[in-house]
């Protein structure tokens, strides 16, 4: 007998070798019906897996996975990818499968096929997938040794390569039905009938392992959800996202552009710079209250510096280089080495700590042309960086302070839903295991003190230290990783940074790297799509437009405009000869927060007729009243425009 310990702490004594499916049936029929996989002592496995003790310890942690779990949804999508692969092989028998992983909200399969698959073929693939799903054939796992697997797939360069890259000597295959089998780590849902509601989304070209010297493959993307309603909701969000595409809205509203003269480098236009500067002003105000000093460091620094910092060994492939005066230089991909050099310009005492130094630093990172995407992925961006130098005893309080600052900034933009991830030591790293453990535990303790739930990403830390990442959720329920806090014991030592402690000895400070918005360019792209470019009044390039009904009221409109401009409101007057309805229509198209219509009645009563974006009703108020309300909304960073 073995003791099964369930996630809620409950215990069950069951026969050794019982399958996970049988265990789920013992727990309850509803759970058994919903189950798609199992986690045994932290490892995801098929429901057909036996529950056996690893050693003399008879206690086994078991969690039955359903589609309510993120892992369950991912397993279902991977199984759906296999069904799609079978459907494609059935329609195009010459297809050679490469691999088919899951991605956010879906999956893809890379295939080698000389005939092009086109969007017109998607329906035919989906129909075949539906047939396979209705057959409800079980997914069956088979395990071979590495040598047996290579022999089995001899002649298939793609699968042989996958086997050679596998980190286990046990190679697994999955089959379903009579004719389909593929190399796969698993796990999978119990049968093809449990692949959910699905849709083929797109097809694209992809090089094998991203190597442009290899043959171009076809990559077929799909999505799968637990129910038809979930699928429909997702497709509706996709359509809404297309309407909010920041690349389209940015061009339409004259905010930014791109040019082949600088691929991957954004040109921010005058209206875009108004948004940029509004964010910067707010950012500086918050940082001033939290005790930060602002610095600026050079963009180009000697190559030797990047060897010392560790970037040369761990980040070289993402950097740009240049040479002048017979010396090699690098264009900075990060701001931290420059911050270290500023620190070293004078002596420091423990009395100065914590020392908070912020920089809106321009950095350059080489991104492959295939991943460049509007403002979301660029080769040059401004990072709202900061470095905190402190003693080990101050780590926890400083991490908590950064968390509080980050939450305050996100909430000002209307981001109330976010989650936290803690990333641990990656394979390529600098510093000892002891230093990494100390740093990781410090981050965990700060999160515990703030009662913040978090997810652990094993091996996803920065090369110099563990990190906390902040993920916000936009109005379309898309998750965006923005802020990061990274604890670093290694770089201060590499740069010889010291401070004089209470006992008059020199010690090495702890360095906390942090960013809140990350890339300013990317953040503005996110804001454009989150708001659909309907910016709150404090961010809007043009906050108010005055619309005179006729030439007779132009002078009054001009006076209203002067009053608003003197109050630092960004406004303009539309003195065109067009009808008032045309002026209003243009204002709506340009997503103005407020339009003030002025005619003879308004002149007589010294008022303005206010049209508020998104509202049918208009309001007639005095100029002073309107000004007081708008100034209050700007000061409070109020997202709601209503009076």
**Exactly one of 80, 89, 336, 390 is catalytic; which is it?**
336
Closest residue by Cα to residue 44 from 97, 95, 99, 102: 102
Query: Cα–Cα distance between 403 and 470 in angstroms, integer?
Result: 9
- Most distant CA pair in the chain: distance in Å? 94
Q: Is 383 a catalytic residue?
A: yes
H or E element: which one contains 250? helix 246-252
**Exactly one of 383, 394, 398, 486 is catalytic; which is it?**
383
**Exactly one of 78, 176, 387, 633 is catalytic; which is it?**
387
**Exactly one of 219, 246, 467, 611 is catalytic; which is it?**
467
Closest residue by Cα to residue 36 from 66, 61, 70: 66
Which of 22-58 are b and which e, b meaning 16 or more Cβ less than 10 Å from the residue's Cβ?
Answer: bbbeebeeeebebbbbbbbeeebbbbbbebeeeeeee
* Pairing mode of beta strands 2-5, 11-14: antiparallel
214 token code pair = 């290899």
| DSSP type of residue 350 | G
**Exactly one of 110, 384, 385, 474 is catalytic; which is it?**
385
3-state secondary structure of 188: coil
Neighbour tally for 92: CB within 10 Å = 15
H or E element: which one contains 339? helix 336-343
* Pairing mode of beta strands 544-548, 594-598: parallel
With residues binned 3-state (H G I as helix, E B as strand, rest as coil), the percentages for the chain, rounded to 5, are 40, 30, 30
3-state secondary structure of 236: helix
Query: Cα–Cα distance between 443 and 489 in angstroms, integer?
Result: 13
3-state secondary structure of 19: strand
Angle between helices 395-412 and 433-449 (to 10 degrees): 50
Cis, peptide link before residue 354, omega less than 30° from 0:
yes
Q: Is 385 a catalytic residue?
A: yes
Q: How far is CA 300 from CA 173, 297, 321, 330, 464, in A?
A: 51, 9, 9, 6, 21
**Exactly one of 513, 514, 522, 633 is catalytic; which is it?**
513
Rounded to 5°, the CA angle 42-44-50 comes to: 95
* Pairing mode of beta strands 102-103, 106-112: antiparallel
CB-based contact 420:385 (threshold 8 Å): no
Query: Cα–Cα distance between 146 and 166 in angstroms, integer?
Result: 9
Q: Is 78 a catalytic residue?
A: no
Query: Cα–Cα distance between 165 and 78 in angstroms, integer?
Result: 19
Q: Is 429 a catalytic residue?
A: no
Rounded to 5°, the CA angle 128-132-138 comes to: 160
Q: Is 147 a catalytic residue?
A: no
Q: Is 184 a catalytic residue?
A: no
Q: What is the DSSP string of 352-416?
A: G-SEEEEEEEEEE----GGG-BTTTB-SEEEEEEEEEEE-GGGHHHHHHHHHHHHHHHHHHTT--
Q: Is 545 a catalytic residue?
A: no
CB-based contact 271:254 (threshold 8 Å): yes
Query: Cα–Cα distance between 591 and 613 in angstroms, integer?
Result: 7
3-state secondary structure of 237: helix
- Catalytic positions are 336, 365, 383, 385, 387, 467, 513
């Amino acid at each position: 007998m073995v003791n099964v310990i369930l996630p809620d702490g409950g215990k069950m004594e069951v026969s050794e070798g019982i399958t996970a499916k049988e265990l789920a049936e013992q727990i309850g029929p509803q759970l058994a019906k919903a189950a798609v996989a199992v986690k045994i002592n932290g490892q995801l496995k098929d429901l057909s897996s036996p529950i056996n003790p690893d050693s003399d310890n008879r206690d086994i942690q078991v969690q039955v996975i359903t589609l309510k779990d993120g892992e369950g949804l991912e397993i279902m999508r991977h199984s759906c990818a296999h069904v799609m692969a079978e459907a494609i092989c059935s329609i195009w028998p010459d297809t050679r499968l490469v691999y088919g992983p899951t991605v956010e909200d879906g999956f893809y399969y890379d295939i080698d096929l000389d005939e092009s698959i086109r969007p017109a073929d998607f329906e035919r693939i989906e129909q075949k997938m539906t047939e396979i799903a209705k057959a409800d054939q079980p997914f069956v796992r088979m395990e071979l040794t590495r040598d047996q697997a290579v022999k089995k797939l001899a002649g298939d360069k793609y699968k042989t390569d996958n086997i050679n890259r596998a980190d286990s000597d046990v190679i697994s295959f999955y089959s379903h039905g009579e004719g389909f089998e593929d190399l796969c780590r698993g796990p999978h849902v119990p049968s093809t009938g449990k692949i959910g509601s699905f849709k083929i989304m797109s097809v694209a070209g992809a090089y094998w392992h991203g190597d442009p010297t290899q043959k171009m493959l076809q990559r077929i993307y799909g999505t799968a959800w637990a129910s038809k309603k979930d699928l429909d909701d997702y497709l509706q969000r996709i359509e809404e996202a297309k309407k909010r595409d920041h690349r389209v809205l940015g061009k339409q509203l004259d905010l930014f552009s791109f040019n082949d003269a600088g691929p991957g480098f954004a040109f921010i236009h005058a209206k875009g710079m108004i948004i940029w500067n509004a964010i910067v002003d707010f950012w500086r105000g918050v940082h001033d209250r939290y005790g930060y000093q602002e610095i600026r460091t050079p963009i180009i620094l000697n190559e030797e510096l990047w060897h010392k910092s560790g970037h040369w060994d761990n980040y070289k492939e993402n950097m740009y280089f240049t040479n002048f005066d017979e010396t090699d230089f690098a264009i900075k991909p990060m701001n931290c080495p420059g911050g270290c050099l500023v620190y070293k310009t004078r002596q420091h005492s423990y009395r100065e700590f914590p020392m908070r130094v912020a920089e809106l630093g321009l950095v350059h990172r080489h991104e492959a042309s295939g991943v460049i995407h509007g403002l979301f992925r660029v080769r040059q961006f401004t990072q709202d960086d900061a470095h905190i130098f402190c003693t080990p005893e101050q780590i926890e309080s400083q991490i908590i302070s950064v968390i509080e600052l980050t939450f305050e900034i996100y909430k000002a933009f209307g981001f109330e839903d976010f989650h936290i991830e803690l990333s641990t030591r990656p394979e390529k790293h600098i510093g000892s295991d002891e230093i990494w453990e100390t740093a990781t535990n410090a981050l965990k303790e700060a999160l515990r003190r703030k009662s913040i739930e978090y997810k652990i990403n094993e091996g996803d830390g920065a090369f110099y230290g563990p990190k906390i990442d902040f993920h916000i959720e936009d109005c379309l329920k898309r998750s965006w990783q923005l802020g990061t806090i990274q604890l670093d014991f290694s770089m201060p030592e590499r740069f010889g940074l010291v401070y004089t402690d209470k006992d008059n000895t020199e010690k090495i400070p702890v360095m906390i790297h942090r960013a809140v918005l990350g890339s300013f360019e990317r953040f503005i792209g996110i804001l454009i799509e989150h708001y659909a470019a309907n910016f709150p009044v404090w961010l809007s390039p043009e906050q108010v437009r005055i619309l005179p009904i006729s030439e007779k009221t132009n002078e009054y409109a001009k006076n209203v405009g002067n009053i608003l401009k003197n109050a630092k409101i960004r406004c303009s007057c539309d003195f065109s000869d067009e009808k008032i309805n045309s002026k209003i229509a243009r204002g709506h198209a340009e997503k103005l927060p407020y339009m003030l219509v002025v005619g003879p009645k308004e002149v007589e009563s010294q008022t303005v007729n206010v049209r508020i974006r998104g509202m049918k009703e208009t309001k007639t108020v005095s100029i002073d009243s309107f000004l007081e309300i708008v100034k209050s909304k700007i000061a409070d960073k109020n997202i709601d425009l209503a009076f």
